[in-house]
A and B are shown apart, each in its own frame.
Chain A
Amino acid sequence: MIDFIARRLVSIVPVLAVVAIFVFLMLRLTPGDPAAVIAGDNATSDQIADIRAKLGLDLPIWQQFAIWIGDMLHGNFGESFFFKKTVASLIAQRIEPTLALAICTLILAVVIAVPLGVIAAYRHGTAVDRIVMGFSVLGFSVPVFVIGYCLIYVFAIYLGWLPVQGYTRIGVDFGGFLEHMILPSVSLAVIYIALIARITRASVLEVLNEDYIRTARAKGLSNRVVLMRHALRNAAVPILTVIGIGVALLIGGAVVTESVYGLPGLGRLTVEAVLSRDFPTIQAVILMFSVVYVLINLLIDIAYTLFDPRIRY
């Protein structure tokens, strides 16, 4: 197992190298000039050229890449073109809302989707199954921002129960934190619930037709025990896989959700950085998302062994 983890950790290096080269080249090939953005609308060409030189954007691309990689290897993610703050400090400042949103969404999604999927499988072909699957299709089809606006209208403007936007740090006011997290988490969880519920249903349904389930039932075990101990546990591997794959969905969804709910997280930082062509910030955030994605999938792989003793690394 330790060998496996070590090998997987080492395999992150080429993944990151490919991502780094790809992101760097994409940004340089994309139209748009950060110096022109920084200089403002009234700037002359000379002012723009001065800023470009100041940022090192007048250097050949290979040289810019070498400087960036060199800095990265020394643990220096660079400085934002705009904020004159290190990218590391910007990320540190913005990571809490995104982390909170991801965790709340994940908890909400798993707590709701897995039971829904199990129930749909157990009630296969009934109205309950059709309702759950109908919701699942709806969850996939409606964009996150539409769900967000609808929830804002109902729960913030019409009912006045929850705030429209903003974020309160968990350490400052836990009540305020929850207040600000409910709508964004629910909005983002919808698509995730749809995905997990669908896979859970399919996996459990497949397991329910296995001989050992029939045997378990023949032994006189209750439906609850059959479902939870025998069916769900054996159906867990595909469910875990989809949770891991869904992290990418979560990252993409966080970008939209944070914009709709005014959460000052990494998603919004990414959007702002892309719109203003803040190369060092975009590069660092995308690399960080890649590391998170790879690590989460490693954790999922490790978790397989807990649910399926046949899996050994």
Chain B
Amino acid sequence: MFDFRRSAAALIAAAGVAGLFGMPAAEAQTLKAVMHSDVKILDPIWTTAYIQRNFGYMVWDTLFAMDEKFQVKPQMVDKWEVSPDKLTWTFTLRDGLVWSDGKPVTSEDCIASIKRWGAKDSMGQKMMASVAGFEAVDAKTFKMKMKEPYGLVLESLGKPSSNVPFMMPKKTAETPPNQQIKVEDVIGSGPFIFKADEWKPGDKVVFLKNTKYKPRPEPASGLAGGKVVKVDRVEWISMPDVQTQVAALENGEIDMIEAPGVDLLPLLAKDKNIKLFNGNPLGNQYAFRFNTLFKPFDNPKIRHAVMVAFGQEEFLKATIGDPKYYKVCKAPFVCGTPLGSDEGMADVLNQNAAKAKELLKEAGYDGTPVVLMQSTDLAVLTNLAPVAKAQMEAAGLKVEMQSMDWQTLVGRRAKKDPPDKGGWNAFLTSWVAADILNPVMAGFFNASCDKAMFGWPCDAEIEKLRDAFSKETDPVKQKAIAMALQKRWVEAPTHINVGQWYQPSALRSNIDGMLVAPVPVFWNISKK
């Protein structure tokens, strides 16, 4: 058979224009990745967007980090201790920590960083409410004094996902929390250095290996352990078109796609030069969020009836399709985690329309239509709303599904207007599992009325239990509180989890060492 490729190559070589039409030259030490989004903002404390969190892990480091087994391990910290009355935490930094501009990392830097993060992040705010003050003992040691014992100090400082408490130089960390840090202030002590002069928004972000970085001696595990960088340079290429991403990976122009479309996974799996890697075995969780300000979901009994009406399998089949990439899991704190349990949930999420109908009647549902927002431009979300609509209608609810792009939905969900005046009753979204491992971390469990996330649930009992959970220092008792909270949540849901799903990354087969972690990280990765 005539080989077009070989013949063409020979012709081109003969013509002496190989440089013009040749294949792109291999850059052995440059790793090129297409991430799920472009980096637009450089401040991972100012926004909760995941791409900024991923950017943060490249440039900055954390005091503590969560390993593969959900254990919080020291990262920048060498040793720490808590006083017997649990009111004073003392942290000592590792030797040899320096910022990329060569200055040493100090206690003052860390104190300022914790304060800025604590002013912005919901888990940080909760912790800071129990903090009396900080004291820099010396350049490497500082104390955090508490007003009362707080059970989630290490979990907060080792929080794996947005907002992550990244340590920044004092000058940067003193930027007001509601103001973005400047490009020139992106100075970290993490494993990579951000090349500001090569940053082209909408095109690429470049990181160089931080040669001054001193990895921990332990092997890398999750987000903890030694962050050993094995490539010289990492480029995050912005490529909005999913088909083009796949073609570029097939052609060897890029090394990795962080989040290829689920419909393209079978195509990628067939290519012998490409492998699929699920670096986040906990995956993600779909969630149906209620707006509790308005009828009918201001009534907790109606919200409970919806939980009875829903069944996860249909949601997952409609969006993900292949059972390899989803899991039916009732546990709100994610199956496979220390608090992951379906206790108290035997009667819900079984798609029991008949029972839901009865419950709606008992709750006095008066036929108020549910304005359900559907996002149409994100493939992993689009098909959720039609399933929710069908299952709610089967139970007797009236549903008005309104379709829009995700950014319109994001803008609209922040509005407290009535549903018939531009507001809403419900929508569906997805959480990264690492964001919802306990009731303080998981934003949708926040039921503090106006201070809660969009949907604004108001439930004194849930709040009391969240508070008790945060102050409890015994893990066994913490779990008991979480289960009590789960029971209350089933009675008066703030949201409904409608299934767990997984997003493998696609890599060229010559890429090794990608870590199992809730966030895609680039240390430990080598390119043959």
Point out residues on A near B: beta carbons under 8 Å: 30-48, 50-51, 54, 80, 82-85, 90, 93-94, 149, 152-153, 156-167, 175, 178-179, 259-262, 264, 268-269, 271-272, 275-277
Contacts and interface: CB of A to CB of B under 8 A. Distances in A.
Interface in B390-438: 404-405, 407-408, 410-414, 416, 429, 431, 435
B251 A94 contact: no
Contacts of B171: none
B223 interface: no
Contacts of B416: 45
B411 A33 contact: yes
B241 A90 contact: no
A42 B247 CA distance: 33
> What 8 A-B pairs are tightest by C-beta distance, nearest first?
A33-B411, A40-B48, A264-B203, A42-B48, A40-B49, A82-B40, A32-B411, A31-B408
Contacts of A90: 201
B21 A179 contact: yes
A157 B247 contact: yes
Interface of B: 4-5, 8-9, 12, 17, 19-21, 23-24, 38, 40-42, 47-50, 52, 120, 122, 162-163, 178-180, 182-183, 200-204, 237-241, 243-244, 247-248, 250-251, 253, 404-405, 407-408, 410-414, 416, 429, 431, 435, 443, 450-454, 456
Contact of A40 (B52, B203, B412): B52
Contacts of B38: 272
Given A84-B180, A159-B5, A165 B253 contact: yes
Contacts of A84: 41-42, 180, 182-183
B41 A38 contact: yes
15 contacts: A31-B404, A32-B408, A36-B411, A42-B122, A42-B443, A44-B122, A80-B201, A82-B201, A83-B41, A84-B42, A163-B24, A165-B247, A259-B240, A259-B241, A262-B244
Which among A33, A271, A277 has the highest number of chain B CB atoms within 10 Å?
A33
Given A39-B47, A277-B411, 9 more contacts: A36-B413, A39-B48, A42-B162, A94-B203, A153-B247, A158-B4, A158-B5, A165-B247, A275-B405
Nearest to A161: B21
A164 B435 contact: no
Nearest to B248: A164
Contacts of B408: 30-32
Contacts of A261: 244
A45 B450 contact: yes
B310 to A, nearest CB: 21
A220 B179 CA distance: 79
Which among B178, B237, B414 has the highest number of chain A CB atoms within 10 Å?
B414
B307 to A, nearest CB: 22
Nearest to A162: B21
Contact of A51 (B17, B122, B178, B204): B178
Contacts of A93: 200-201
Contacts of A41: 48-50, 162, 410, 429, 431
Which among A43, A84, A271 has the highest number of chain B CB atoms within 10 Å?
A43
Contacts of A32: 405, 407-408, 410-412
Contacts of A80: 201
B412 A31 contact: yes
A1 B203 CA distance: 43
A259 B42 CA distance: 23
A54 B179 contact: yes
A275 B407 contact: yes
Contact of A276 (B21, B40, B250): B40
Contact of A42 (B21, B413, B435): B435
